[in-house]
Structure 1
Amino acid sequence: MNIFLHELKANLKSLLIWSGVIVLLIMIALAKFSAFAGNPDMLAMLDSMPPALLDALNMRAFNLTTLSGFYGLMFIYFGLMGAMAAAMWGSEVISKEERDKTVEFSLVLPVSRSRVITAKAAAALINCVAFVLITWAISLVGVRSYTPDPAFYDFLVLEMQAMLVIELIFLALGLLLGCAMKQYKFSGSTAVGIILVTYFMSIFSTMNEKLDFLKYFTPFRYFDAGLLFRNGKLDGLYLLLSAGIIVVCVAAAYWIYNKRDLYI
């Protein structure tokens, strides 16, 4: 419990920073939406953009003059930020012990390495849940002036659920990298690199039908905002695939961390 509480306190500053960034993003997005709200003429500007680019950004899947449509467009940015925050939290909970030269203190505690990982991962998980709840709460407050319909609230719930699953995937991946990489300095940057690669894979798979198979390798395609809006539910196949990735990454992280030599 002491490790868990210590980790929560240590990560509080990072959570506040990421929360500040997401709040700023939502405020900017809603300020831009004020120009689109109920104004079909604003959509004419999109006609000059290449169709492939519109598809890549999911801009043709929604009516951007509606709140649900605009939030559908913004979902990829919420997911991208959540993925980066989760990956950094996951990779740093272990690697920072070696970076800050405190790993020796952790080793002399009367607890196993598995318990150390569990406590630290649980603290990172709390951060992920808090980040989603903050995004959700700020969104609810920010859209009140537009008097959303019930369909928007249902769609927002789906988006937040999908955002949490994306976070859990990259939290598990970050945890694995933090436990596995001997060069602790590179675990965070490697995690961010993987996120960017999978993000661009999602764009390329949308722009070219021949690359559609890439959707199975990028979590950003598991929860397409357009499909969420039309189907009204998360895809069961991708939920199972997400669960498999999370379980494999977490299990591998425990196994590797219990076997590897730590740098004191």
Structure 2
Amino acid sequence: MKAIVFKELKANRKGLSMWMFGMLFMVAIGAAEYGTVVENSESIMSMMDAMPRIVKVIFGMDILPVYTPLGYYVCMYLWYSMVAFAHAIVLGATIISKEERDRTAEFLYTMPYSRKTIISGKIIAAVINVLCMTIFTFLCIILTLVSQMNGESIMPLILTTMIGMFFAQMLCLAIGLFFSSLFNYHRTAMSMAILFFALSFVLAIVIEFVGNIEFLNFLTPFRYFFAPYVVTNGISSVYLLLSLFFTGVFVFLTYKLFEKRDIHC
């Protein structure tokens, strides 16, 4: 299995680097705008007051004042999580079935390894990729954004949100793996993963905008560790357990479905 893990890490290093570059770009944009937002807090607030509430909800400006260090970070966290979650679910949808896409499945699945061993190696490599993405995001935020925030230490809160992001990424990864094992063709699995990601984001916006349908939070990873609530109340044990439960269920289904699936070479 160790050989499979290292093979997958090597095969995915280019893709991971591209996603990390996207995250760095997102964090850098936020860091570059922070000083402007703080210096022009009064005009920013008057502009926000004139915005429709749905716009403020979409951009994460509806709960905490965006001109404060914590409020600005919470606003940007939504965009960081979009990149991180997209990476996780796309990785899950591709890491198992990419051999079918590249027409190399016959070589891999005729090696002296069971399908279960191959899948396990791929999942371990995917988890390492997700962990690297989370650590990289945390370091980027610390080096570019937090370094500008004088007078208020929000490092513990950022670390807490990063932990929540990791568990949400794991759920997205498991959902991507499930789609990859459920559908016979790589393009279908990828399309369903992207559709789920888009619908999850829209549902998260609707839940926040409506305000009294929080019971639907379990349907979207964006709401499991919602940054404004995490920085106020910490990580919810309920959603932590739910994320672990659903991650385990989707991984279990991945094993069961893929062992019965026809491999298209």
- What TM-score, normalized by structure 1, do the two folds share? 0.94
Instruction: State percent identity of aligned pairs.
Output: 28
Which amino acid is the alignment partner of residue 93 of structure 1? Answer: I
Contact 1:180–1:253, Cα closer than 8 Å, also in 2: yes
What SS does structure 1 have at the residue aligned with 2:96?
A: helix
- Matched residues in 2 for 1:63 and 1:197: separation? 27
Mean Cα displacement is larger for which, 17-26 or 215-224? 215-224
Q: Once the two structures are superposed, what CA deviation does each residue of 1:216-237 show, in whole Å capped at 9, x if it has no partner?
A: 2111111121111111x10011
Q: Which runs of 5+ in 1 are unaligned?
A: none
Query: What is the root-mean-square deviation of aligned Cα atoms in Å?
Result: 1.5
Q: Which of 121, 124, 129 is equivalent to 2:123?
A: 121
Please say if 1:187 is aligned against 2:175: no
Contact 1:173–1:249, Cα closer than 8 Å, also in 2: yes
Structure-2 residue corresponding to 1:145 = 148
- Matched residues in 2 for 1:157 and 1:212: separation? 25
Contact 1:78–1:163, Cα closer than 8 Å, also in 2: no
Give the deviation of 1:197 after TM superposition: 0.2
Which amino acid is the alignment partner of residue 225 of structure 1? Answer: A
Give the deviation of 1:212 after TM superposition: 3.6
- Matched residues in 2 for 1:208 and 1:22: separation? 30
Structure-2 residue corresponding to 1:158 = 160
Contact 2:90–2:193, Cα closer than 8 Å, also in 1: yes
- Matched residues in 1 for 2:46 and 2:123: separation? 47
Q: Which runs of 5+ in 2 are unaligned?
A: none
- Matched residues in 1 for 2:14 and 2:58: separation? 34
Structure 1 segments of 4+ aligned residues over 3 angstroms from their partners? 55-58, 209-213
Give the deviation of 1:210 after TM superposition: 5.3
- What TM-score, normalized by structure 2, do the two folds share? 0.94
- Matched residues in 2 for 1:76 and 1:262: separation? 37
Mean Cα displacement is larger for which, 206-215 or 196-205? 206-215
Contact 1:223–1:235, Cα closer than 8 Å, also in 2: yes
Contact 1:57–1:203, Cα closer than 8 Å, also in 2: no
Structure-2 residue corresponding to 1:208 = 210
Q: 1:45 to 1:158 in 2, by over 3 A?
A: same
Structure-1 residue corresponding to 2:9 = 8
Contact 2:94–2:190, Cα closer than 8 Å, also in 1: yes
Structure-1 residue corresponding to 2:175 = 173
Report the number of matched residues.
262
- Matched residues in 2 for 1:92 and 1:78: separation? 21
Give the deviation of 1:33 after TM superposition: 1.2
